[in-house]
Each structure stands twice: as structure tokens, then as C-alpha cells.
Structure 1
Amino acid sequence: MHQLPKRGIWTDQPASKWEDALVSGNGSHGVMVFGDPVHDTVIGNHCRLYLPQGNSYDLPDMAPYLEEMRKIIREQGYEKAISFYYQKAKELGYQGLTMSDPSHPGFHMHIETDHQKYTDYKRSINYETGELSVSYKVNEQSYVRRTFVSQDCNQIIHYLSPGNYTIKLTDYQDPKMSQTSMMDQQTIHTHFDYRYSEAGYDVLVDVIAEGVKPLSKAVGFEINSEKSVQIRMEIVPYKEKSERKIIKQSLSSSEDYPTLFAKHVSIHQEMFERVELTLATDQERQQQIWSLVEQAKQQGKITPVLLEKMYDAGRYMYICSAGELTPNLQGIWTGTFDPPWSGDFTFDTNVELSIAAALSSNLLEGLEGYFGLIKELMPGFRENAQKYYGARGVMAAIHSSNCGKHVHWNQEWPLHLWTCGAGWLAHWYYQYYRFTGDKLFLQHEVVPFLEDIVLFYEDFLIEDTDGPYRFTPSYSAENGAADNATQDIAVANEVLTNLSEAYQILGYPQEKVKKCREMRSKMPAYQVNEDGALKEWLTSEKGENYNHRHFSHLYPVFQSREFNNETDPEMWQAARTAFDKRLEAWLLNEDGDTTSTHGRMHSALCATQFHRHDLIEDIFRLLIDHNCFYSSLMMSHYNEQNVFNVDGNGALPQVVHEMLADFSNGRLTLLGAIPSSLPKGEITGIRLPNQMIINRLKWDTEAKHLELQIISQIDQEVKLYFPLYPEVEEHHQRISLQQNKQVSFVINL
């Protein structure tokens, strides 16, 4: 009755809260299913639903006060300067730190029965197909509930076994929106108008079954059907009332659940199977999820089968959540109108982690939603640059949903001083070109965005008397303010380098290339402190705070790959020392400032570059020991399942890819950070920069054996690097790749 998924999870425990729900999605719609056979709940989500709060998003015109602020920074320090700036903003009508409009659910549909005495309960997610399944028995009669979000018809489809049910929609009664419903035969049409904007959305629920009767005191139906029940649901948002679509009377069609599901699976499964990690047997995979977690806890380390499932869950999250937009803090799911940090797009770490594996996982189409989102927010980004710094170009907000304007700051959290956000977002634009070789995208999307960022730098940066630029004000994400935050310089270095390269690739005039190189040459040099560590602020006035979850100053390591142990050994060692200090004070310190899954993931992305396979083992163990995921394997921001948050899911596949095969600075690193708990396995289909694809990588460290099949879309020569097996490089130093010709070889480790 219940086919347990090989690629997925199952448990015999019902979910008591929405965070522990079964989840699915298609990049526009999301669905969550939780509860028990007596009272089940289906939550419909949509990527466009952000509830206007009626807050002012008018930016104070602070540009006239920038020079005075800079003078106060020079003469009295940042605390006085930020206080001055904040008071001026308040005088101009600024309302103080304001969250973006929060993500919210589209509807709650409750399904009730009299099945109190149920047995043999199971619920599962099949990551390969996107189907959610619930099964149980009542008096030896079997009941099944199945759900998926169609990649074909863009609807939520729910199946119930023949039987008696009551279904009804929750009346949200939220003061910030109105809700009106109409029932017509077997269809519910509910219309939602936002109070503080012209936007809103419609929900249609169509029941295809026998014996359907409307409820007299609620929005819903009684169902008494000797045939299976099919419920089709759709959320249709609009930004303006004039954009509201003509509502169809019914979503029903002659197609049954198997037919609709087959159409969906042909799309979803192809995406999921582009990359495959094999670490376990089918018998191991079919254990229930909490048994696998308990085994890992008892062993004190990640098990291959659990890591395989966490890896699959990360890619599943991205397939479900990316498409029309990009995953927000909660992917595409929420069951509350009050999510932490508004459940929005948070750009100082979280969005970047959620898309970390998009390119290497060969899910390129998911980034279309990311690029589209940035375009939608661009007017606000331009106004941020103009109003705060009197600059042309763009400055990204840290928090965004319906708007790109930056109003999430105050004296305690001066996040408006963090000016490198747009440059970090642009990283994926240039990487998309590097992975695909798409020169049209490079010319029409990458170059204009990079040029806008450089325009901001031209107007914002000042020159010290001894020549270099100075970033003032400057901020290292959520860890303090001082001139010349290292991440500011690192992002600017990457932006200017990428724009210069793009100009040369596209044949732009040499004057443009020269200008980028001149600006790049004026960037402050990285500095090393008395501990031998790369400084987080390149100024003598600011000391280090190692006890912090952000790793912003290690941007040249985990993100831009600006240098490595060969290109700049001295700076590489300084970065490694800075990393070790952060580990000691925060990650591996039980008294660290806060727990944070995103901090652990950035630790892991640094660990792959420093070839710290032992540390990756520790990070995986911390996630398990501190219960940082739900039964779906969607992760939590804090320990003990505290705050549903998916940025860790997005990053984990990238950690796996980098510890197995990683390419930067012309060097292909193989098994560079493979943990001892993964002595053998196989991965297929991962993409690398420079238009390479690893068709197959199979390893067995105990047998000291590695097999590689790699193909390149361009002619190139690649240097091989085996940091954990240095003796191998003596025999395997370089490989020549010819366009579209697979190269295969076997290496004895």
C-alpha cells in the first residue's frame, strides 16, 4: 500500500506542527501536509505571497549628511557617527528598523474523519518524484492520501481513498487582509484583498468526488464517496486589481490522479536525476528517518546513508523552491503569518547559501528566478545608492520581499553601512557565465549589473592621501563597523576582476579594461594581525571579534577564490589562521555567541578549501547532535528544531561537491576534503566552472582507487590537485580536455 521511497524519507509518527510537515513544490506553488488521520491539514503556499504591513518604505535623503558623518567617523569614531546619522534620519521621517513584508500561507485546508482507531501509520516524501504519501489502516481497511505540486499544470493535487471526509478552509481573519469565499457545486473560490496595497490573490479548490455537499456553517464540503477523491488547488496572486485574472469556474478535468502525476513526474524526476550521489544500498535507504538519525548519534558521526539523504533533501528543496523566484529563508513554505525575519530574502548570507549548489547541481533554470528577483528589486537598490550615499548605480538591501528599499537598520544594527551586497549577488551572474559559456547572458545581464555596481564604487569610494581607496563607512555583516571591512574589499576585487574579464571576452574597448584594472590596483591590501590572522577590518583602530557566526572576511576563500596556497601562500596561511580562530571561539566552542546553521555551512565551505576533512566531519556531527532538521530533512536555523530555515539545505550539496571535486584558479581538486566516514561512493553529473561536467566520479579510499570521467564543452588544459594524496600528483599532473570528448582515467591513491 505504501511504497517506501529510496530517495526520500519516511516516518511512522504524525506531524504535530507545520514545521515538521511533509513538503513539496514546483517553484511557484508549495504545499505542506501535516496532522493525523483524524485531523489533517494541507497548507497551500505561493512564492509571491508577502503580506503588506502598511509600513513606510520612504527612504530618508541622507546623502547631504554623508561627509559630515565621515568627519565624525574620523574624529570621534563610529559610535558617535552612527548616532548622528540615525538622529538625522529620524528627523527626516525615518521610522526606524523595519522588517520587510512577511511571507505568509495562502490557505489552510483541514481534512477531518472519524478514523480515531488507526494503525500502521506511515508518511513519506519521495524526493525523486515530489510526491507526499500518508497511509494507515482502520479496521483492516487501508487508506491512502497522496499530494504533489504539478510541474505540468501548476496546481496542488491531493488524493484521498474512498470514504467519508469533511474538508474546510480556515477563515484567516487577519486585519491586514479581507477574505471572501463562494461555493459553487463542488468548487470553492476564495478571494483575498490586501488592506495596504492593491495586491491580493485568489484560491480555487475543486473537489472531484461523489456525494459532495456544502457545509452550512463553514467554507467546505462533506464528502461521502465510494470512489477516490481528487482535490485540485491553485493560488493566483496579482499585484494590481487590474491584473487580476479571469477566474475559471472549475479546475476539474477528465484527467485522474495517475495521469496528472505521470505528467508531473516526467519533469520533476528528470531534474532530480541530473546529479546522483550514491553512498548507500537500497536496504539502508528504506529505514525510517529517525532510526537513521539515531544510528548516526550512536556512532558519533555522519553515516553514509544519512548524508546521502541530506544531500538529496538539499537538491529537493531547491527544485521545489526555485523557479518563479528564488528560495527565501523558508524556501517556499510557511505555516505562519509571523515568520522569523519575515521569512524574506535575506542577502547578507542566507540567499547566497540557498543557491550555493544550483550551478554545480545542474539546476540552471532555478537561477532564472534569482535573476528575475534581482531585476524586480533593482529600482529600490538604485534608490538606496542615491538616498544614502548620493551615488549612481546600485546598493542592495539586506532584507527584501515586495520592495528593494533598505529600511532594515537602526543604531544597534547599522546594516545600511554594508555596501557590498550587490557585488555578492553578482557573483552568481558571472558564475553562470563560467559554468555555461553563455556570452549573450554575459553581455546583456552580467556586464550591465557589474557596471552598475562599479558606478556605485566610483561615487562612494574616497582615496586616502597615500593612494588606496577607503571604504567609509564600512561594516562586516552583523559583526561591527570600521573602515575597510575585508569583505567590502574582497567583493570589490571580484567585481572589478570579473568586469575586466567580461570586457576582454566580449571585445569591449581597452579603455574600459584599463579603468577596471586601475580601480582594482587602488584597493587596500589585505592585512594580517598579531595572531597571524587575516584581519576582518583593514584598519588599526578595530580589533577582532572571533566569536561570531558570520565568516564575511573569508569571502576570498569560500566564495571568490581570490587566492589559494599556490597563488598567495602568505595570505592563504593568514586566512587559515583567521578561520582557526573562528572555530576555536565560535564553531567548536560550547559557549559560542549563538548557534547557526548558516554559520556551520560557511564553516564547511571554508573547510573544503582548507582541505579540513576532519572539520567537515565535525560540522555534520553538530547538525545531527543538535537536532538541526525536521523529519522532512529541511533544516532549522538554531539547535533543537528552532526556526524553520532552508539555507543550510541549499549549501550542503555544494559542500559535498567541493569535498569531492572542485575547480578554481585552473586547478581541479579531487577528494580534497573527503571525510573518513565516507570511504567509498560515487557521484554523477555535477557541473564545474569552465564548462566542465563530471559524468562520473567513483572512489574507494580503503582500496586506494579513484575513477573519473570528465567532459568539457571547450578545449582546455587542467591541473590536477590531490591535497590529501600528494604523492599522486607526481604521476598525474595535468589533463588535456578536447571539446565534447569525454576523458576517463583510473588513479591509484
Structure 2
Amino acid sequence: MNAKRFMAILVGAALVSCNSEKQLDIAYVFDQNPQHGFISDKPASKWEESAISGNGTLGILIPGNPHKDRMVISHEKLFMPEYPPYDAPNLGSRLAEIRELVLEGREQEASMIAVEEGVKIGIEDEFIWTNPHIPACQLELENLNPIKDDLYSRKVNYETGEITVNYGTKNEVISRRAFVSRTDSVAVLHIQSLTAGKLNYKFNLNQLPLPEAEEEEDAFDPTEFVSKLDIKAQSDCLSYETTFEREWEGSLKSYTVVSKIMPRNGSLKVDGNSIQVKNADEILVLSTVKLNYKKEEGSQSIKLKKKLDALGSSYDTLLEPHAQIHGELFNRFSFQLGETDRRNITSEALLSSSTFQATNSELVVQTVEASRYNVICSTGETPPALQGIWGGTWRPAWSGDFTLNGNVPSVIASGLNTNLRELTDSYLQMMDDMLADFEKNAKGLYGLDGIYVPSRASEFGSVYHYSEYFPHIYWYAGTAWAAHFHYDKWLYTMDEDYLKEQALPFMLKAYEFLSQILYRSADGQYMFVPSYSPEVGPLDKHPVAINATMDVASMKQLLRNLITLANQGYISIQKIAEYQGILDNLPDYAVDDKGELKEWIWASYDNNNEHRHASHLYPLYDGVDEDFKNNPELVDAAKNAIEARMEYRRGREGGEMAFGLVQLGMAASHLKDAELAYECIRWLVNSYWTPSFVSYHDPQEIFNLDISGGMPAVVSYMLLQSTTEEIVLLPALPKEWPNGKVKGLPARGGFIVDMEWQNGKPTHLNISSKTEHTTKIRFGDQVWDVQIKKGESRALSLN
């Protein structure tokens, strides 16, 4: 964010600050929407509707209740130690037996072998969850002298990361603002009366409330996992320290939260485990979290208090450097459809103004902006997990983990192509950090070198999350998929050091394992036996199967990328024959008798289209597989496959698991089918958002960030697609978006594109380059050759 824009935001805040000589601008306080953000006229009705903020590592979640509220504090790496990492079941010694059973059609018997081997290493219950991602605690705040709340609003400013809650009357208004600092790594809460009233508040740190159990035996007991809980109030600080019951080498042992209460004027006193502030003009609260991986002697709260003491007591002083960084991340990319003005409409009204049949373009833009905000706030040392970095329960859906078979790839899908490389980098760094686990997986499972990336991870990447009917242990595409993201970063950045030092080593480790796990049939064809397509089996058959299209497609992609790098001199050219030999003998993609692309390349298997995933469309997620180019039969088969999955979803408001729509939308975009791509967008926009514009997993259910990363990726591919040879403009633009503009859209080859279009045609283009690379610009039958020097930009008029 530039200094001028930041000062404008501060001036706007000053208009509503306490000043007895000026009349309060009530309309600004309660009705004015941030330029980028939202305004709501209701508090959250459940924790999932809370407003969110975060710096990627620390997160806060605020429902926004007027008199008694809470700020749930979270940390990206706070996975409760419940299940230690297990060794991988030894399948290598029985692989020949497993393959024979699968090829004979005895898939269930084959599946039980993995279960049996799991029992040998201690996995007695067949299915082990990943460790759950839990919030740290909640800061509870209560107004001891409640005022009328005839007027109410809560807002989030996407450019600064601020949550604001205002309530009161024309004559008495209390305002609360909060954000999580990127520069100081603290959550900052500020309370003031905009009408010069005195503040009387009570604060305390507390555990989250326990979830309600449907059955008594399902009741969650935190004492099973927490051996010590110490909550204190001392001087001007609240502290909350948890020690975990279960531990192992390298596990999280405990964590500490400290909140420092700083009133301006008035008095402060300790009352049991609470702190009370009376007759203050303003109150500032700073909170931070420390995770402890060693058994520390003495309290960690003293160290954290010293950190907070050094930060001062000015909200605006803390906000300014943070807002500069956060604002730059947000404003790097922008998207607009026609002339939009959302400034004076509540989030509730905007959501209700749109339906699938009549989708409001302003809601499309709003959800793209909200998506970007959500992933910025939850991208830190790790990528966003299923719930980003937030949560409001001890038992998040699917442990709130990193589900790698589709969810995480969806949430990072917009990293490279919407100018948020930090998002992709966090995922790639996590993959590199878990390399030792992945190597152990490959060796333990099959006795092979290289790496095996599992379907799910938490704070570690051990492979044990599988069962008879969810045999993720036979899903191999995850390893090649991770290698693809490494390679694609190279294509977008053309950073040769990165290619040599990170991308290529990972790709070669992936190849080392995958090339050895392939089964070669008597006729010389390479096959994946067994194989698994998440999270479904062929129609009326067991999910342990043969040649999942996703496995085959991701292997083809990896081999082609390695061949390209060998031709470019980054790998020995002598390896090309080896890579090409495997590629030439992998099975061709298959089409069924309905004309649909098959999810398994095996004659006796039929698609089960009543399913949430669309893994067989992997060849079209981030580009167009070579086998589909100039092959109308495969293109039509892919469109038919999309149509079949959409038919299942149409009667379900988009259906469960929204990121399946992301998969369908990305594939439709790369097929240049604007109608199907836009249908996916319409469902994504109209079915899956809270009034705080946080995304859901199912229609109006399950707080989840998958489409906050995935939906902007679909939009980006509708507007621009690229290889290192060419950039295609508006390849899947729907007729409903005749006019618009986009800024900061990256293209492979190291380019950044700004574009405007009118009546469905590009009119103005500005392209800049980070390399000396040349490219072609294509729109329909028109082609422009472009060569730009590194660091330069060029404006093109395309009328």
C-alpha cells in the first residue's frame, strides 16, 4: 500500500475518533463500507461467521457481540499432540501378492493386506486421524457499563487487515478495532468511545467452550490431552499456559499466551484471573503466542510480557508498518467487472442480491477480494490448512489438517497466477521441510529410495492415514503433484537458482520413487497397480483399483517436465531415453461408452459421477496435457466428464466439498469452455460464503478455506492462460462479463499483465517482465510478438 493510500485510511479513521468539538459522523461509522472489505449489520450467529484477521502465523476470530465478546487466538502450527507418527506399514514385502489380487479383481482382499500390515506396527483401529489443529484460547471482554446498541456494524478492511465493531446510539458510540501485526507478531485490540465516554471493561483468557456431543460417549474431554492448564492475572497481564499430556520426540510440549492490558487514564486492577479497567479513555490489548517444543523450567509468560512491554501503547503506531506490508500484498492483484460500487451495501444484502440464476457481478468481485484477503491472512511458514489458521472448536472437521489430495492444492492454486507467490512458497517450503518424512515413507512402505507424499499431514508428513475403504496409501499422484508445483514456480519466475537448488532435486526424488513403483505388464506397458483415485472407487467396485487417471496423468506430466529440463541442459541428456521409454509405455487416456473421460484406465471400471472429487481431470488443472492438444475426442470426453459431475451437483446448490467445483472450473477454463467455467463460478459465488465472507466447505456448512484460494485461480484462468511460449487473453470469458479490468496477473515466462476489456475484447494491455524472455500475445486469431527487457514494461493498445 502506498503512503498516500495509507494516510487516506488514517484520515478516515480520524473522522470518527473522539473529539468533543466535532459532531460524530454517524453515517460513516455505521453505514460506510471500506473501499475493499465488507460491512455487516449483525454480529456472528455462530463462530463460523466471525470476522477474521491474521499475519499468517497468528490469527484472531471475532464474533462481534456488542457487550460480551471474545477474540479467539490461534497459531498456524498449533496441532494438538494426539497421535504420534507411526512407521509406514511394510507393503513392499507383499506387493506382488497385492498386485495379483487386484489384477484378479479381488480388490477388497488386496485392501485388507494394508490393514493387516498396519496392525503389525500398532495401528489397531485401522484408521488414525491426523493431529487436530486447535485454537490457543480466547480473550473474553465484557463491558461492565453496557450502553444501548440501537446502531451496530462490524467491518473488515482488506487493505489493512483490521476488524472493526461499532455499536451504540447517535449520542454514545463504542468502537473496537483489531488486527494481527506482521511486523511485531502480536494481535492488537483497541477500544475507545467515539463520543468521549469512559470505558469500564473486564478481560480474561479462557479455554474454548467444549463442543456439544451428540452422544455421551462422543463427549470430548480436554483433560485427556491437557495435563496442566495455568490461567493467571498479574499486574497488567493475563497469561494462559497449557502443557500437553501426550508427547514424543519433537512433539509440541506446551504453549503460552499472554495478553497485556493498557488503559489510557482510568484505573486497572486484578480480580482473580481477570483484569478490570475502570473509567479509561481508551484501552489497548496486545496478545501473543509462543509454542514450546522443549520442557522449559519456569514460566514462559515472563519472556512474552517483556516482548509486549517493548511495543509501546499506540494503536496507530503499531498499525502503520503492518498495514504497509499487508496492503502491498492485497493490492498486488485486482479484479473488476464493469463499474461496481459495494461501499454502501451490507454483506448480508449483497449475498441476498445474488442467485445462481442471476449472479450479481459485484458479488463475484467481492468474493474474489475476500478470497485473497483470507489466504493472505493465513499464509505463513505453512500454507493455509483446511480452516486456514483459525478455528472455534477442539474438534475441527477432518482435524483441520493439510489434506493434500485436493484441498491444499486448491487453496494454493491462486498463488502463482494471481501474484501471491508467498502462498505457493509456503506450500513448497512445507514440502521441503517434510522431505525426511517423505523419504521414510518411501523406504518404509516399499523399501524404495525417493519420496512418497501422503494424502494428509499435520505437523509431520508420515503416511498412516488410510483404511480399507479410503486406501490413500495407494495414491501416488500426490508425489508428482508436489513436484509439479515446484516446476510451475520455475516457469512463472524463470529463477534458475531456484530450479537448480529446490525444484529439480525434489522432482528427481519424486521420479526416483514413482519410476520404481510402476508395474510393468507382460506386454511391456507401465501400470499403477494398485492405484487409488481420491476419494472414490469405480462404480459398484472397491476403491483399490488399477491405473487411476490422476496417477497416470501426473506421472506423464513429471516425465515431460524432466525431458524438457534435460533438453535445456539441466539434466543429463542421456536420461531422456529413460524418461521417454516410460512415457511411451504409459497407458493412453480412456473414454467410456458415454463419451466421458474415464477416471480409471481399465476396461472393467466405470465412472461414479455422484462424487465430490474430479481427480480424472488432473490433466487440465493448470494447463492442457499434451495428449489433449489436437485431439478432439479427448477434449469432448473431458467436457462430457465435467458435465456429468456438474449434473450431480446442480440439484445440491453446488454440492458438498466446494473445491471439487474448483477442479471442474479449472479444467473447463483450460478447455476454453466459458459456459461451464462460469457455471462453476456461479455455484462457488452463491453457495459457500458466510456474512463475513469466509468460505465454507459445503453449502452454508463447515468453515473452510479451500475455495478462498481455488476460486480466484478459476477466474484467473478464465482471463489469461500461459505457457513459456505464449499468453492467451480472455480464453474463457463468459458473456456475463463483457467489460472489466485486471491488474497484476502473472504469466509463465516471468511476465505480469494488466488488462482492460470491453464488449468481450481486450482493449488495453500493459505487460512487464522480470526476465529477458520473449513471448507471443494471442487473442482469438490475433497474435502479437513481444520482447521486453528485464524490468521494463510496455503498453499495448489492442483496439
Q: Give the TM-score taking structure 2 as reference length.
A: 0.87
What secondary structure does 1:296 align onto?
A: coil
Q: Residue 146 of structure 1 corresponds to which residue in structure 2?
A: 177
Q: How big is the shift at 1:619?
A: 2.6
Within a 5 Å distance, the mapping from 1:285-300 to structure 2 comes to 285-297=343-355, 300=357
Q: How big is the shift at 1:368?
A: 3.1
Within a 5 Å distance, the mapping from 1:623-662 to structure 2 comes to 623-626=684-687, 628-639=688-699, 641-662=700-721
Residue among 194, 205, 221 paired with 2:275: 221
Q: Residue 680 of structure 1 corresponds to which residue in structure 2?
A: 739
Residue among 332, 352, 362 paired with 1:274: 332
Q: Residue 639 of structure 2 corresponds to which residue in structure 1?
A: 576
- Greater displacement, 334-343 / 673-682: 673-682
Moved over 6 A (4+): 243-246
Alpha-carbon displacement from aligned partner over 1:521-576 (angstroms, at most 9, x marks no partner):
23222222222222211111212212222111111112353138644333223222
Q: How big is the shift at 1:355?
A: 0.6
- Structure 1 residue ranges without an equivalent (≥5): none
Quote the Cα distance in structure 1 between the aligned partners of 2:747 and 2:662: 20
Q: Residue 70 of structure 2 corresponds to which residue in structure 1?
A: 41
Q: How big is the shift at 1:520?
A: 2.2
1:359 aligns with 2:416: yes
- For the 8 Å contact 1:563–1:572, the answer to whether it is kept is no
Q: Residue 699 of structure 1 corresponds to which residue in structure 2?
A: 757
Alpha-carbon displacement from aligned partner over 1:334-391 (angstroms, at most 9, x marks no partner):
1111000000000010000101111122222333322221123222222222222222
- Return the letter of the residue paired with 2:723: S
- Return the letter of the residue paired with 2:222: D
Change in Cα spacing, 1:269 to 1:407, as seen in structure 2 (3 Å) is same
- For the 8 Å contact 1:58–1:94, the answer to whether it is kept is no
- For the 8 Å contact 1:737–1:743, the answer to whether it is kept is no
Within a 5 Å distance, the mapping from 1:428-439 to structure 2 comes to 428-439=485-496
What secondary structure does 1:427 align onto?
A: helix
Quote the Cα distance in structure 2 between the aligned partners of 1:304 and 1:388: 50
Q: Residue 50 of structure 2 corresponds to which residue in structure 1?
A: 21
- For the 8 Å contact 1:718–1:735, the answer to whether it is kept is yes
- Greater displacement, 127-136 / 451-460: 451-460
Q: Residue 123 of structure 1 corresponds to which residue in structure 2?
A: 154
For the aligned residue pairs, the C-alpha RMSD in angstroms reads 2.3
Q: How big is the shift at 1:418?
A: 0.7
- Return the letter of the residue paired with 1:379: A
Aligned length, in residue pairs: 733
Alpha-carbon displacement from aligned partner over 1:683-704 (angstroms, at most 9, x marks no partner):
111111111110x2101117x5
- Structure 2 residue ranges without an equivalent (≥5): 1-15, 17-28, 193-197, 209-220, 538-543
Quote the Cα distance in structure 1 between the aligned partners of 2:683 and 2:493: 35
Q: Residue 615 of structure 2 corresponds to which residue in structure 1?
A: 552
What secondary structure does 1:189 align onto?
A: strand
Residue among 193, 205, 208 paired with 2:262: 208
Quote the Cα distance in structure 1 between the aligned partners of 2:636 and 2:725: 20
- Return the letter of the residue paired with 2:738: P
Quote the Cα distance in structure 1 between the aligned partners of 2:680 and 2:179: 33
Q: Residue 513 of structure 2 corresponds to which residue in structure 1?
A: 456
- For the 8 Å contact 2:419–2:744, the answer to whether it is kept is yes
Q: Residue 20 of structure 2 corresponds to which residue in structure 1?
A: none
Alpha-carbon displacement from aligned partner over 1:682-733 (angstroms, at most 9, x marks no partner):
1111111111110x2101117x5622222333455544444xxx5xx1xx22
- Return the letter of the residue paired with 2:466: W
Change in Cα spacing, 1:120 to 1:669, as seen in structure 2 (3 Å) is same
Q: Residue 132 of structure 2 corresponds to which residue in structure 1?
A: 102
- For the 8 Å contact 2:335–2:742, the answer to whether it is kept is yes
- Greater displacement, 503-512 / 146-155: 503-512
Quote the Cα distance in structure 2 between the aligned partners of 1:125 and 1:739: 40
- For the 8 Å contact 1:26–1:150, the answer to whether it is kept is yes
Quote the Cα distance in structure 1 between the aligned partners of 2:279 and 2:340: 37
1:744 aligns with 2:795: yes
- Return the letter of the residue paired with 2:471: P
Change in Cα spacing, 1:343 to 1:533, as seen in structure 2 (3 Å) is same
- Greater displacement, 183-192 / 323-332: 183-192
Change in Cα spacing, 1:559 to 1:455, as seen in structure 2 (3 Å) is same
Quote the Cα distance in structure 2 between the aligned partners of 1:214 and 1:97: 50
Change in Cα spacing, 1:25 to 1:249, as seen in structure 2 (3 Å) is closer
- Return the letter of the residue paired with 2:202: T
Q: Residue 608 of structure 1 corresponds to which residue in structure 2?
A: 669
Q: How big is the shift at 1:466?
A: 1.3
Change in Cα spacing, 1:191 to 1:506, as seen in structure 2 (3 Å) is farther
- For the 8 Å contact 1:8–1:125, the answer to whether it is kept is yes
Alpha-carbon displacement from aligned partner over 1:155-189 (angstroms, at most 9, x marks no partner):
10000115011111114582112221333310122
Quote the Cα distance in structure 2 between the aligned partners of 1:56 and 1:713: 43
Residue among 558, 563, 588 paired with 2:626: 563
Within a 5 Å distance, the mapping from 1:480-629 to structure 2 comes to 480=537, 481-563=544-626, 566-584=629-647, 586-590=648-652, 594-626=655-687, 628-629=688-689
What secondary structure does 2:575 align onto?
A: helix
- For the 8 Å contact 1:60–1:94, the answer to whether it is kept is no
- Return the letter of the residue paired with 1:672: P
Q: Residue 168 of structure 1 corresponds to which residue in structure 2?
A: 204
What secondary structure does 1:685 align onto?
A: strand
Alpha-carbon displacement from aligned partner over 1:266-323 (angstroms, at most 9, x marks no partner):
11111111111123657433311111112213x8332222111111111111211112
Residue among 720, 727, 733 paired with 2:783: 733
- For the 8 Å contact 1:717–1:734, the answer to whether it is kept is no
- Return the letter of the residue paired with 1:537: W
Alpha-carbon displacement from aligned partner over 1:387-442 (angstroms, at most 9, x marks no partner):
22222211111111022112211112111111111211222111111111111111
Q: Residue 235 of structure 2 corresponds to which residue in structure 1?
A: 185
- Return the letter of the residue paired with 1:107: C
- For the 8 Å contact 1:301–1:620, the answer to whether it is kept is no
Change in Cα spacing, 1:212 to 1:604, as seen in structure 2 (3 Å) is farther
Quote the Cα distance in structure 2 between the aligned partners of 1:670 and 1:344: 37
- For the 8 Å contact 1:17–1:35, the answer to whether it is kept is no
Aligned-pair identity in percent equals 28
- Greater displacement, 5-14 / 497-506: 497-506
Change in Cα spacing, 1:446 to 1:507, as seen in structure 2 (3 Å) is closer
Q: Residue 12 of structure 2 corresponds to which residue in structure 1?
A: none
Change in Cα spacing, 1:151 to 1:506, as seen in structure 2 (3 Å) is farther
Change in Cα spacing, 1:416 to 1:214, as seen in structure 2 (3 Å) is farther
- Return the letter of the residue paired with 1:37: P
Q: Residue 303 of structure 2 corresponds to which residue in structure 1?
A: 247
